[in-house]
Structure 1
Amino acid sequence: MAEAQTDPGNQPGGGGNGWVNRALNFIEVVGNRLPDPAVLFLILMVVVWVLSWLLSGVDFQALHPATGESIRVTNLLSGSEMARFLSGMVTTFTSFAPLGVVLVAMLGVGVAEQSGFINAVLKKLLAVTPQMLLTPMLILVAIVSHTAVDAGYVLVIPLGGVIFYAAGRHPLAGIAAAFAGVSGGFSANFVPSAIDPLLQGFTQSAAQIVDPQMQLNPLNNWFFTSASSVVIVLLGWWLTDKVIEPRLEGVAIDGNDEEMPEIRDLGGRERKALYLSLAVMVAGIAGLVAWLIPGASALRDAQGQLASFDAPVMRSIVPLIFLLFILPGVVFGYAAGTFKKSKDVIDAMSRTMSSMAYYIVMAFFCALFIAEFAQSGLGTLLSVKGGNALAAMDLPGPVTLIGIILLVGFVNLFVGSASAKWGLLAPIFVPMLMQIGFSPDLTQAAYRVGDSSTNIITPLMPYFPLVVVYCQRYVKGTGIGTLVSMMLPYSVVFLVCWSLFLVAYWSLGIPLGLQASYTYP
């Protein structure tokens, strides 16, 4: 693909002189003047230490919603806390959830890429997908990837860049579209996943504070999240093609040649290798399905469920991704001649890991910061104070609902985990809104909208540094500011339109999900 021409007067964001583009360019410039992401996480950790010291003696008169105990900020600069930090540093890093997910999955994906398997699949995919439908197809695949937990971050987002680059479009637009679907539309999915029973469990426990007999269906938001899939695909399609990609026209693609994906035509031998490797992939999937079907399958939990977090299959998603790519990758490599001996497979893994070195460094500092922020209690204090302030306003129903969404979106900038955040907020919001006639099902739906929309603009989200690395593969100068400014239009539009969609959905009385209601009692 020919390099995009750089307009010196329009760098780094490009895209014209409208006020929106000027604002996004300003955000990008300011953001990129921040320190390197690894250094930024280190600085933020020091800031948390200092704040924890300053605020540790303050009585905020706030109670933890789950325990009823007074919330106190822990002084992380005390001798005992410093000793804890140093003694646990290695464990904090090695137990950082995204690290293992990314590295293990990338070992399999790397073999598939180095062998030429991914190249061959993309070539066929581009041949059957009309150019005008490439963006919505990518976003739809990104949304469905939620079913496989974090698979979208390590698989769909980088492939978004590869697919757009192969189609002659700007690869950063492909990464943005995929990131918007995977993370910005996290709660938009027509396929039930493990996050549904997880959130429902918190919601039900919170509702039982008011009504001990309250029982909720794990799929109490399924109809709404299914309809939301259509909304997110349409919004993401329009934003990518009409806002993001035009703005990237002046951004040159200057990645290292050896790291740039190469989508080449398939020869006769490669076509045969592709069919053989796809047959192996299909056989593997069929074997997995056959293993899952029996009610007594070892991949089910003790109650025979597949979608719960305790089910072995849900805990095996990353190893399954590894096998799903390494097996057809190896078969393709030997069949096409790109692999001659076993050492070639190991070399492919090694090259993939060498490209992840920068991410590993960033993950180290990111893991330490997130752990220290959680230990300080600042995130808990922020969540509880915000919830109490909203309750005190006593606003009309729709305004209250949107207020909850906005508050959750704000808290999401600081507390990334959907389960941890809802564990804090559910005991506040659910009983509070039940008192004014809102059902727990409706409150949970509002939470899911706010929790998703701002994922893509917070550098504190664990996978955010990884997406920066994906972008740097194509544009070396990509920084935090570049990614934030590129994703901000998605975040704002999703937050506004999705909130209004929920209010309209509620007004029309369309069922939220199975056995769900809008009112209480």
Structure 2
Amino acid sequence: MSTAGAVPKTVMQRFLDGVEKVGNMVPHPVIIFLILIAGVIALSAVLGIFGTSVTFERINPDTHELESATTSIRSLLNTDGIRFMYVSLIPNFMSFTAVGLMIAAMIGAGVAEESGLVTALIRKLVIVSPRWALTYILAFVGIIASVAADAGYLVLIPLAGIAYLAVGRHPLAGLALGFAAVAGAFTVNMLIKPLDAVLVEFTNDAAHLVDANRSIGLASNIWFSIASVLFLTGVIAFVSDRMIEPRLGTYVPDEDAERANEGAALSASESRGLRFASFGLIGLVIVFCLLTLPGGAPLRNAETGELIGNSPFMNGLIALIMLVFLVSGWCYGIGAGTLRTLTEVITAVEKSIRNLGGTIFLFFVLSQFVAYFTYTNMGTVMALSLSSALQAANIGALPLLLGFIIVVAIIDLLLTGAIAKWAIFAPVFVPLLMKLGVEPEAVLAAYRVGDSPMNAITPLNAYFALVVGFAQKYDRSAGVGTIVSLMLPYVIWMFVLWTLLFAVWKMVGLPWGL
């Protein structure tokens, strides 16, 4: 693979080239996390000696009442810490849900890819979509993919790279576009998703500290979320077309990739395969309609009967994603003559899983770091210290909201879990801002803005290393610096413009949701 571009580079492009060069001097991601583990162990021991701690008020998850609590830095080099590291080695890895999600998704995706369904679908998309619209379609679908939890990382991002390659555009730009859409706007959607139920529950618990009768619903941010999806689709597409692709230049694929993408029209066997895939998909949809739509259906919430929100259907959505690719991929293979027998399907799955060996090892090391960092309480202490400083600043409601967004973004570089951070911030900022006349819906909307964009540049994102692996399929020299330099323009523009959208929304007084 090689790239070439005759257009002189701007100052920003040269800066990003420097970021990429420096970033790619960083060792292998596994080595990085081994160094970070050593740093966490040493720092926890030092802070533990000095008794570093912070006292705060929190909501008891069982009683839902306010209580005072103290969080101290826990050393990993004392007796308890050493015991923890020794006995938790396997539990840390087994509880790292990214591994299970990745393997489950790749079972279906492997069949779809090996049968040729993915390539045929991408080519079909290229045929029916205007060239200019492809960027917007992928950005929009990437943002919406968060309804399937983390499956968007595993499905949409590589598909975006393939789609760009199919139309002769740089596949790294497609990967970057997909990563920005999936990670950078993860907390908003046009649909209600399981994450919303948890965030709303924490918000209501915090609001009850001020007003026991004040509660918000699952759709309390729906209008702002819908507007954010449309707005961010435009921002991501603009950055991709105007900044990322010009910097990357022209992509020259190797001969195998070039031959694989020759000819836009689908062959008769491919068209027949797509018809078979549609029949399989329709059959699967009928089955799931029977499992979800009738009252008392198995995949509805057994107590409330809800389907969208906290229900077996939404909580196990990765299973549906896997089955969609598995069933449609096998049906395509039967129609196109590429995968006819069950043995061939199993072989395709095995091939897909074998290719994950390096990633699984990386996740093993990463899971240890996340567990050690969580055990020490360093992230929690830092978050509470920053929130206390912001609370004591004694500024107006809107500046406080904007400062809150910035603090959340900073913390997101270290604590990527949306639920864990909101559990810390909600009891502090929801009551504080309610006393200043700010509705809890606005505080939750501010949290959504601050929590998402940084996901695309923090190596602590469980899927960051996976994106590096995707990039190396097209550029063997790609590394951490490559991804960071590609994502920085997205992060900066999304964070700044999304924050401005939030500020305007608040000042105009538009409704946040239902």
TM-score by length of 1: 0.93
Q: Does 1:370 align with 2:366?
A: no
What pairs up with 1:68-147 in 2 under 5 angstroms? Answer: 68-147=68-147
Give identity over the alignment, percent.
34
Tell me which residue corresponds to 1:333.
333
Measure the CA separation in 1 of the matches of 2:2 and 2:343. Answer: 38
2:48 maps to a residue whose letter is S
Change (3 A) 1:268 1:152: same
> Which residue number corresponds to residue 353 of structure 2?
353
Cα–Cα, structure 1 residues 366 and 252, in superposed 2: closer, same or farther, change >3 Å?
Answer: farther
Structure 2 partner of 1:28 = 20
User: Hey, what's the Cα distance between the residues in 2 that align with 1:483 and 1:430?
Assistant: 35
Q: Does 1:40 align with 2:32?
A: yes
Contact 1:221/1:513 (8 A) holds in 2: yes
**Which has the higher mean CA deviation after the structures are superposed, 205-214 or 358-367?**
205-214
- Rounded to whole Å, the distance in 1 between the matches of 2:262 and 2:275 is 18
What are the residue-to-residue correspondences of 1:7-406 with 2, within 5 Å? 16-60=8-52, 62-66=54-58, 67-249=67-249, 262=261, 265-301=265-301, 302-309=303-310, 311-406=311-406
For residues 15 and 145 of structure 1, do their structure 2 counterparts lie closer, same or farther at Cα, with a shift above 3 Å needed? farther
In structure 2, the CA distance between the partners of 1:126 and 1:416, relative to structure 1 (3 Å rule), is: same
CA contact (8 A) 1:148 1:317 kept: yes
Determine the C-alpha separation between the residues in 2 that align with 1:18 and 1:322: 43
Residue 480 of structure 1 aligns with which residue?
A: 480
Please report how far the alpha carbon of residue 257 of structure 1 lies from its aligned counterpart in structure 2 after TM superposition: 5.0
Q: Measured at CA, do residues 354 and 15 of structure 1 come closer, stay the same or move farther in structure 2, by a change above 3 Å?
A: farther
The structure-2 alpha-carbon separation of the partners of 1:492 and 1:5, relative to structure 1 and needing over 3 Å to count, comes to closer
Change (3 A) 1:146 1:340: closer
Structure 2 stretches lacking a partner, 5+ long: 59-66
* Letter of the structure 1 residue corresponding to residue 24 of structure 2: N
Paired AA for residue 27 in structure 2: P
CA deviation profile, 1:67-98 (whole Å, cap 9, x unmatched): 52222000011232222222121121122111
Separation in 2 of the partners of 1:398 and 1:415?
25
| Counterpart secondary structure, 1:69 | strand
Relative to structure 1, is the Cα distance of residues 457 and 204 closer, same or farther in structure 2, using a 3 angstrom cutoff?
same
CA separation of 1:491/1:270 partners in 2, compared to 1, >3 Å: closer, same or farther?
Answer: same
RMSD over equivalenced CA pairs, Å: 2.0
- Amino acid paired to 1:453: P
Distance 2:199 2:260 in 1: 39
Give the superposition deviation at 1:148.
1.4
**2-structure distance, mates of 1:263, 1:101:** 33
**Residue in 2 aligned with 1:5?**
3
Following the alignment from structure 1 to structure 2, what is the Cα–Cα distance between the partners of residues 261 and 493? 35
What CA distance in whole angstroms lies between the structure 1 residues aligned with 2:354 and 2:179?
23
The 2-side partners of 1:222 and 1:368 are apart by 37
Q: How far apart, in 2, do the equivalents of 1:333 and 1:271 lie?
A: 11
| Post-superposition offset of 1:187 | 2.6
The letter for the 2-side match of 1:55 is L
Q: CA–CA distance in 2 between the matches of 1:321 and 1:354?
A: 20
Q: Deviations over 1:214-272 (max 9, x none)?
A: 21112111100101111101101110000001111167656x95899757653212211
Does residue 1:498 correspond to 2:498, yes or no? yes
Shift in Å, 1:163: 0.5
Q: Report the alpha carbon displacement of residue 285 of structure 1 after superposing the two structures with TM.
A: 1.5
d(CA) in 1 for partners of 2:349, 2:355: 10
**TM superposition shift of 1:425:** 1.0
CA distance in 2: counterparts of 1:39 and 1:279, whole angstroms: 47
**Which deviates more, 52-61 or 311-320?**
52-61
* TM-aligned CA distance change 1:269 to 1:279, over 3 Å: same
1:62 is paired with a residue whose SS is: strand
Residue number in structure 2 paired with 1:10: none
Alpha-carbon distance in 1 for matches of 2:433, 2:70:
23
Distance 2:438 2:295 in 1: 37
**How far does residue 209 in structure 1 lie from its aligned partner after superposition?**
1.9
CA drift of 1:17 comes to: 3.4
- What CA distance in whole angstroms lies between the structure 2 residues aligned with 1:472 and 1:405? 34
For structure 1, the 5+ residue unaligned runs are: 8-13, 515-521
Q: Deviations over 1:145-199 (max 9, x none)?
A: 1111112111111100010011110011111111111110113322221122211
Would you say the 8 A contact 1:273–1:332 is kept in 2?
yes
Would you say the 8 A contact 2:22–2:481 is kept in 1?
Answer: yes
Q: Is 1:123–1:263's contact at 8 Å kept on the other side of the alignment?
A: no
Q: Which residue of 1 aligns with 2:465?
A: 465
Give the secondary structure class of the aligned counterpart of 2:54: coil
Question: Residue 53 and residue 410 in structure 1: after superposition, are their counterparts in 2 closer, same or farther (change >3 A)?
Answer: same
Q: In 1, are the aligned partners of 2:276 and 2:334 still within 8 Å (CA)?
A: no
Q: Distance in 1 between matches of 2:168 and 2:376?
A: 48
Quick one: distance in 1 between partners of 2:101 and 2:259? 23
CA displacement 1:263-286 (0-9 Å, x = unmatched) = 765321221121111121122123
| Residue correspondences, number | 504
CA contact (8 A) 1:384 1:428 kept: no
Per the alignment, residue 61 of structure 2 pairs with none
- Aligned equivalents of 1:232, 1:197: Cα separation in 2: 23
Aligned-partner SS, 2:68: coil
1:11 maps to none
Cα distance in structure 2, aligned partners of 1:447 and 1:194: 16
Cα 1:65/1:158, change in 2 over 3 Å = farther
1:50 to 1:488, Cα distance in 2 relative to 1, 3 A: same
